[in-house]
Amino acid sequence: MTDLSLTQVGLGLDRDEPTPPTDAALRGPSRGRDLLRLLAQPGLVLAVIVAVLVLLAAFFPSVFTGRDPLEAVPKDKLQGPSLEHLFGTDQLGRDLFSRVVHGAALSMKATVIAVSLGLVLGSLIGLISGFFGGWLDFALMRVVEVVLAIPSLLLSLAIITALGFGTVNVAIAVGLASVARFARVMRSEVLRVRGAVFVEAAKAAGARWYEILFRHVLPSALGPATVLAALDFGIAILAVSALSFLGYGANAPAPEWGSLVAGGRTYITSAWWLTVLPGVVVMAAVLATNRISRAVDGGRSRS
Amino acid sequence: MGRYLARRLAAAVGVLWAAYTLAFAILYLLPGDPAEILAAGGENTDPDPAALEKLRAEYGLDRPIAEQYWDKLWAALHGNFGVSVTSGRPVTDVIKDAAPSTLLLTFGALAAAIIGGALLALIATYPRGAGLRQLLLSLPSLAVSAPTFWVGLILVQLLSFQWRLLPAIGNEGWKSLVMPVVTLAIPVSAVVAQVLAKSLLTELGSPYVEIAHAKGVSRTRIHLRHVARNAAIPTLTLVGVLTGELLAGTVVVETVFSRAGIGRVTAAAVERQDIPVVLGVVVFSAAIFVVVNLLIDLVYPLLDPRIAQNGARA
């Protein structure tokens, strides 16, 4: 999948020198004004609604459908979308809407694991690299550069080759492939914070290095990495669905967004809904998370 | 210029070695016994211990990992990347056979992405009104949000089955290349458009544009001759990374359109956990990345003569 780190590449250019948060940004505007600003942006409202729906589907699929995603009703096979079956049925007569709703759980699980892994491991590497500097920093950053030179999809594929298939392994592969991006962002932020007056003050006051690192440097350097994590969400959804489409995800009957599209390929001429509709859901989820991450980012740099 | 090139060449060799080492570390050091993976070949069977021992001895997996690494690296330096576990053919042959069709697809898509993305950026930044600009500039974020495999399948549905314009699958003739190229190019053209539009807008605000205006140069001429040339550099920097992404994207696109090539070889190798082939493909992609970046380094000085003199990228 080409789009893995592409948004990253595009948007990452200005991400290396984050604007320092001002006092106003740290205090934050009143909650009422926040809500007003949100309602003035219908696109953002829609994005939030989509994101909430996807999360609801992932945790409480029964809210949306009472049907069993695995139950096959042969006499109802390959029916087009109707009120009875919102997304139609597949070749075994399983309800596609129910499969997409239940698929949200697996696909979201993989996405959350991937983003968390990238955020935590990447931030840790960036933190160590930026804080200690010297040869350690040099070595870590050379590794990061090489990782960034290899396309993230290829990196994920190599990791899957070593680890084997399954939803969690796909998630780990996608997460590890994003570690380098987080490390770089975190490092540049740590370098900025490291020389700040309050860090110097803590040092002068006799704080130990790990106290300075985790209590003073980490909290004020974490901002850009969390913004990147929000952005990484959309990328991870796409990466996970691509790997699942290729067949490296969960085993056959379990529904995942990518494998649902792959499953519909054979019936592309007779049952368009099997490929089109799960893809629409993936795209809606990605658009929503990207819109929200832009709002998070904009909120930081604007105020 | 000579020193500039020498430094770039040395860096290129370094990247290749590092890519090999990284791929080796992933494939041989991550949890998961290579011998078991090789024996299983993607199946979920429990191979008997005796066969495992034999495999370990055969592939040298019973020796210390550092020793294996140096041996394999030494062999790789001599063009020997081992043999495919599934087919028994040398990895270099497997890649050499599959490369031409994939390189055609990759560079076709690169050309399409640059032309498409640049056109969109140039057109979107031309009008004075903010409305049309906003509308055009929102297209890229739409394009990067669509799963590539899904876009490909939609194209197949419309162009092959509905309107019967293009063949749905295969490698035959230029017609079979159109949809894969377009599918692969869409997300990359979106990135090109985003980056180029951003630097175009920055350049448009600089003093030399105002001076050219004052001298009576037409807006179109300023846009295409003066601004576009300066704005091209940040986009050019990206081309190496984008080529790599395109090459990796062929894994999905060649699967969707059932085309033979590196992408299909990779997909099959991952499925069978064919470690030597996967390692070979990673190094191949790094090699393409390196070559493209060397070419870009040759183009930079043409756009901005200061770069060759300083030996540094702007």
The complex scores an ipTM of 0.89
The Cβ of residue B224 has, within 10 Å, a number of other Cβ atoms equal to 13
pLDDT tens, residue by residue, A105-121: 999 999 999 999 999 99
Say yes or no: A41 contacts chain B, CB-CB below 8 A.
Answer: no
Chain A residue with Cα closest to B109? A2
Q: Cβ(A100)–Cβ(A87) under 8 Å?
A: yes
How high is the pLDDT of residue A293? 87
pLDDT band at B306 (very low <50, low <70, confident <90, very high): confident
**Of A176 and A27, more confident:** A176
Percent of chain A at pLDDT > 90 equals 36
Question: Is B183 within a domain?
Answer: yes
Alpha-carbon distance of B16 to A298, in angstroms, equals 38
Alpha-carbon distance of B309 to B2, in angstroms, equals 10
Question: Is B231 within a domain?
Answer: yes
Percent of chain B at pLDDT > 70 equals 94
Mean pLDDT of A167-177: 95
How high is the pLDDT of residue B44? 54
* Interface subset of A 254-283, CB within 8 angstroms of B: 258, 261-262, 265, 268-269, 272, 275-276, 279, 282-283
The CB-based long-range contact list for A130-138 (8 Å cut-off, 24+ gap) reads A130/A186, A130/A187, A130/A188, A130/A189, A130/A190, A130/A191, A130/A194, A130/A221, A131/A190, A131/A194, A131/A213, A131/A217, A137/A187
* CATH match of A111-303 with 1.10.3720.10: yes
How high is the pLDDT of residue B217? 87
**Does the beta-carbon distance from A162 to B142 stay under 8 Å?**
no
Evaluate if residue A32 carries a pLDDT over 70: no
**Of B199 and A76, more confident:** B199
Which residues from chain B sit within 8 angstroms of residue A172, using beta carbons? Answer: none
Question: Is B192 within a domain?
Answer: yes
Evaluate if residue A35 carries a pLDDT over 60: yes
CATH label of the domain that carries residue B103: 1.10.3720.10
Question: Is B153 within a domain?
Answer: yes
pLDDT band at B308 (very low <50, low <70, confident <90, very high): low
Mean pLDDT of A51-66: 87
Question: Of B30, B144, B156, which has the smallest distance from its Cβ to A163's Cβ?
Answer: B30
**Could you list the residue range(s) of the whole structural domain that residue B193 is in?**
96-261
Look at chain B and report how many structural domains it folds into: 1
Evaluate if residue B46 carries a pLDDT over 80: no
Q: Cβ(A140)–Cβ(A183) under 8 Å?
A: yes
Alpha-carbon distance of B99 to B163, in angstroms, equals 31
CB environment B239-251: b (16+ within 10 A), e (fewer): bbbbbbbbbbbbb
On average, the pLDDT of chain B sits at 86
**Of A249 and B45, more confident:** A249
Say yes or no: A7 contacts chain B, CB-CB below 8 A.
Answer: yes
pLDDT band at A16 (very low <50, low <70, confident <90, very high): very low
Nearest chain B CA: its distance from A27 CA (Å)? 31
pLDDT band at B45 (very low <50, low <70, confident <90, very high): low
**Does the beta-carbon distance from B145 to A4 stay under 8 Å?**
no
Question: Of B184, B191, B246, which has the smallest distance from its Cβ to A9's Cβ?
Answer: B191
pLDDT tens, residue by residue, B104-122: 999 999 999 999 999 999 9
Evaluate if residue B48 carries a pLDDT over 80: no
How high is the pLDDT of residue A73? 81
pLDDT tens, residue by residue, B291-304: 998 888 888 778 77
**Does the beta-carbon distance from B281 to A268 stay under 8 Å?**
no
How high is the pLDDT of residue A12? 38
Nearest chain B CA: its distance from A182 CA (Å)? 17
Nearest chain B CA: its distance from A268 CA (Å)? 7
Which residues from chain B sit within 8 angstroms of residue A241, using beta carbons? Answer: 147, 149
On average, the pLDDT of chain A sits at 83
Percent of chain A at pLDDT > 70 equals 86
pLDDT tens, residue by residue, A121-142: 999 999 999 988 889 999 999 8
pLDDT tens, residue by residue, B198-219: 899 888 888 888 888 888 888 8
* Interface subset of A 180-209, CB within 8 angstroms of B: none
Nearest chain A CA: its distance from B214 CA (Å)? 31
Alpha-carbon distance of A21 to A301, in angstroms, equals 8
**Does the beta-carbon distance from B188 to A265 stay under 8 Å?**
no
Percent of chain B at pLDDT > 90 equals 39
Question: Of B15, B23, B147, which has the smallest distance from its Cβ to A242's Cβ?
Answer: B147
Question: Is B238 within a domain?
Answer: yes
Evaluate if residue A8 carries a pLDDT over 60: no
pLDDT band at A11 (very low <50, low <70, confident <90, very high): very low
pLDDT band at A288 (very low <50, low <70, confident <90, very high): very high
pLDDT band at A20 (very low <50, low <70, confident <90, very high): very low
The pTM is what? 0.86
Which residues from chain A sit within 8 angstroms of residue B200, using beta carbons? Answer: none
Identify which of A3, A19, A11, A39 has the alpha carbon closest to the alpha carbon of residue A181. Answer: A11
Which residues from chain A sit within 8 angstroms of residue B18, using beta carbons? Answer: 142-143, 146, 149
Q: Cβ(B287)–Cβ(B96) under 8 Å?
A: no
Evaluate if residue B249 carries a pLDDT over 70: yes
Which helix (H) or strand (E) element contains residue B14? helix B2-29
B305 in helix, strand or coil?
A: coil
**Does the beta-carbon distance from A2 to B249 stay under 8 Å?**
yes
pLDDT band at A31 (very low <50, low <70, confident <90, very high): low
**Of B95 and A215, more confident:** B95
How high is the pLDDT of residue A25? 45
Say yes or no: A161 contacts chain B, CB-CB below 8 A.
Answer: yes
